[in-house]
Amino acid sequence: MDFIYKRKINYYETDKMGVVHHSNYIRFLEEARCRWMEAHGLPLEDLEAAGYTIPSLEVYCKYKYHVTAGDVLLIEPIITEYNGVRMTVTYRVTEEKTGRTVIEAQTKHCFTNRELRPVNMKKHAPEIHAVFADAVTPLSSL
């Protein structure tokens, strides 16, 4: 299932130069990843209620083109690596009108229990594991 998160830029997310402040892109990626999970039947709240969290381990973001208030981003989160314990999400982030790539981005995560100890979802939650495992698109395929 392809999933694209559409995000309109708010004025308050811009800086003195009128462009989106660089720190906001990390929030946009998180929003897109959470909406992807919801679209796949895995709301983050349900995972947490079941005792699992997915903390971020790394964030990579290369800024390519600026956007301003009123612009619309199309953010496509793609699971490019997943082994049951760790996951890498690569993002296609483009500006809707022009199709320009706005940022190149990737986040890395691990799955943990309530005590923040790593867990293997394949063993602990096979139904959740299956959703992530089925969604993997290797980076070499993009």
Which CATH number is 5-141 given?
A: 3.10.129.10
d(CA 107, CA 79): 10
pLDDT digits (tens, 9 = 90+) for 61-98: 999 999 999 999 999 999 999 999 999 999 999 999 99
Query: Is 71 among the catalytic positions?
Result: no
Of 15, 46, 71, 134, which residue is the catalytic one? Answer: 15
pLDDT digits (tens, 9 = 90+) for 45-64: 999 999 999 999 999 999 99
Asked if 89 and 106 count as a contact pair (C-beta separation under 8 A), the reply is yes
Q: Which amino acid is at 89?
A: V
**pLDDT recorded at residue 68:** 97
d(CA 108, CA 120): 15
pTM: 0.94
- What backbone phi and psi angles, to 5 degrees, belong to 115? -85, 10
Domain ranges of the chain: 5-141
